[in-house]
Protein backbone atom coordinates (compact mmCIF):
# COMPACT_ATOMS: atom_id res chain seq x y z
CA UNK A 1 0.00 0.00 0.00
CA UNK A 2 1.14 3.52 -0.70
CA UNK A 3 1.92 5.97 2.07
CA UNK A 4 2.82 9.64 2.02
CA UNK A 5 4.99 11.71 4.37
CA UNK A 6 1.98 12.33 6.62
CA UNK A 7 0.78 8.75 7.06
CA UNK A 8 3.93 6.62 6.88
CA UNK A 9 5.35 4.94 9.95
CA UNK A 10 9.10 4.47 10.49
CA UNK A 11 9.06 1.52 8.06
CA UNK A 12 7.18 3.41 5.34
CA UNK A 13 3.86 1.62 5.94
CA UNK A 14 0.59 3.54 6.06
CA UNK A 15 -0.79 4.02 9.57
CA UNK A 16 -4.42 4.05 8.42
CA UNK A 17 -6.96 2.86 9.28
CA UNK A 18 -6.65 3.21 13.03
CA UNK A 19 -9.00 3.45 16.01
CA UNK A 20 -8.81 6.28 18.52
CA UNK A 21 -10.41 9.23 20.24
CA UNK A 22 -12.67 11.49 18.21
CA UNK A 23 -11.26 14.89 17.24
CA UNK A 24 -10.95 16.84 20.46
CA UNK A 25 -9.21 19.62 22.34
CA UNK A 26 -6.67 18.12 24.73
CA UNK A 27 -7.02 18.96 28.40
CA UNK A 28 -3.67 20.75 28.51
CA UNK A 29 -4.99 23.37 26.07
CA UNK A 30 -7.98 24.12 28.31
CA UNK A 31 -7.05 26.43 31.21
CA UNK A 32 -7.59 24.75 34.58
CA UNK A 33 -8.27 21.30 33.10
CA UNK A 34 -6.56 18.09 34.10
CA UNK A 35 -6.14 14.64 32.57
CA UNK A 36 -9.51 13.24 31.55
CA UNK A 37 -11.08 16.64 30.90
CA UNK A 38 -10.40 16.88 27.18
CA UNK A 39 -13.40 18.14 25.22
CA UNK A 40 -14.66 16.58 21.97
CA UNK A 41 -14.86 18.95 19.01
CA UNK A 42 -18.36 19.55 17.64
CA UNK A 43 -19.42 16.60 15.47
CA UNK A 44 -20.14 18.86 12.51
CA UNK A 45 -16.45 19.83 12.44
CA UNK A 46 -15.13 16.25 12.38
CA UNK A 47 -13.22 15.35 9.21
CA UNK A 48 -14.78 13.10 6.60
CA UNK A 49 -12.24 10.33 7.19
CA UNK A 50 -13.27 9.89 10.86
CA UNK A 51 -16.28 7.70 11.66
CA UNK A 52 -17.58 7.45 15.21
CA UNK A 53 -18.04 4.01 16.73
CA UNK A 54 -21.78 3.61 17.34
CA UNK A 55 -21.00 1.45 20.39
CA UNK A 56 -18.51 3.89 21.93
CA UNK A 57 -19.38 7.58 21.49
CA UNK A 58 -16.32 9.81 21.33
CA UNK A 59 -14.17 7.10 19.77
CA UNK A 60 -13.94 5.73 16.27
CA UNK A 61 -11.88 4.97 13.20
CA UNK A 62 -9.76 7.24 11.08
CA UNK A 63 -10.32 5.40 7.80
CA UNK A 64 -7.69 6.87 5.48
CA UNK A 65 -5.02 9.53 5.17
CA UNK A 66 -6.65 12.83 4.23
CA UNK A 67 -3.43 13.95 2.51
CA UNK A 68 -2.91 11.14 0.02
CA UNK A 69 -6.28 9.36 -0.26
CA UNK A 70 -7.70 11.29 -3.21
CA UNK A 71 -4.57 11.33 -5.34
CA UNK A 72 -2.98 7.97 -4.55
CA UNK A 73 -5.55 5.21 -4.04
CA UNK A 74 -9.13 4.26 -3.35
CA UNK A 75 -9.69 2.62 0.02
CA UNK A 76 -11.95 -0.15 -1.24
CA UNK A 77 -9.65 -1.20 -4.06
CA UNK A 78 -6.22 -1.13 -2.45
CA UNK A 79 -6.30 -2.03 1.21
CA UNK A 80 -9.28 -4.34 1.30
CA UNK A 81 -11.15 -2.64 4.09
CA UNK A 82 -14.07 -1.45 1.99
CA UNK A 83 -17.68 -2.16 2.82
CA UNK A 84 -17.14 -5.91 3.10
CA UNK A 85 -14.08 -5.53 5.34
CA UNK A 86 -15.77 -3.03 7.60
CA UNK A 87 -18.85 -5.24 7.92
CA UNK A 88 -16.60 -8.16 8.86
CA UNK A 89 -14.93 -5.97 11.48
CA UNK A 90 -18.36 -4.82 12.74
CA UNK A 91 -17.73 -1.39 11.23
CA UNK A 92 -20.71 -0.77 8.97
CA UNK A 93 -19.52 2.10 6.76
CA UNK A 94 -18.15 2.22 3.23
CA UNK A 95 -15.07 4.24 2.27
CA UNK A 96 -17.18 7.39 1.87
CA UNK A 97 -18.61 7.07 5.38
CA UNK A 98 -22.05 5.95 4.29
CA UNK A 99 -23.73 3.38 6.53
CA UNK A 100 -24.05 0.01 4.77
Is the model's pLDDT at 32 over the cut of 90? yes
The angle formed by the CA atoms of residues 25, 95 and 21, to the nearest 5 degrees, is: 20
**Full domain range(s) for residue 67:** 18-88
pTM: predicted TM-score of the whole model, two decimal places: 0.62
The answer as to whether 67 is a domain residue is yes
The answer as to whether 95 is a domain residue is no
Work out the average pLDDT over 24-41: 93
> What pLDDT, on the 0 to 100 scale, is given for residue 30?
93
What is the tally of structural domains in the chain?
A: 1
pLDDT digits (tens, 9 = 90+) for 41-100: 999 999 988 889 989 899 999 888 888 765 434 444 444 444 444 434 444 445 555 555
Q: Which residues, at least 6 apart from 9, have a Cβ–Cβ distance to it below 8 Å? A: 3, 15
The answer as to whether 69 is a domain residue is yes
Amino acid sequence: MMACQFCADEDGNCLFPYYGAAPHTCFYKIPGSTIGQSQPDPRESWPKHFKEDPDSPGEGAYLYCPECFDRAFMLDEHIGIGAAGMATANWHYDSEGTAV
